[in-house]
Amino acid sequence: MSRQPSSDLLSFSRALADETRQEIMRLICCRWRSVGELAEELRLSQPTISHHLAVLREADLVLVRPDGRQTFYSLNQGRVALCCGRLARRYAPEVGETGR
């Protein structure tokens, strides 16, 4: 079952509403990282990182790669671009048309 664009935008906005999740997104952009690596980098507990990754997963903003006992995450850049485009079309349609 696919989600509606408005539902996608809501989960995308919720995911971005937290500074820790924004920092996780920055750290996993263009690179696969484990929960342990993220926890060490951000100086947060692994359960805290896992919670934030669950929110990002719900919004389909991360790609997941299991590898043995670890799971690695990378930013789903296509999804980020899609949601940003939808936000622009919904809330700034004139800017998108004129290129300003």
What are 5-10's contacts with CB under 8 Å, separation 24+? 5/86, 8/59, 8/60, 8/82, 8/83, 8/86, 9/83, 9/86, 9/87, 9/90
Q: What is the pLDDT of residues 16-31, one digit of tens each?
A: 999 999 999 999 999 9
- Note whether residue 25 is domain-resident: yes
Q: Which domain holds residue 69?
A: 5-89
- Note whether residue 17 is domain-resident: yes
CA distance 50 to 65: 14
Considering Cα of 51, then 35, then 73, then 83, what sign does the dihedral take?
positive
Residue count of the chain, please give it: 100
Q: Enter the tokens of residue 47.
A: 């359960």
- Note whether residue 28 is domain-resident: yes
- Note whether residue 98 is domain-resident: no
Count structural domains, the chain: 1
Q: Enter the tokens of residue 50.
A: 């896992």
Mean pLDDT of the chain: 91
CATH number of the domain residue 51 falls in: 1.10.10.10
Q: What is the pLDDT of residues 35-46, one digit of tens each?
A: 999 999 999 999
pTM for the predicted model, two decimal places: 0.86
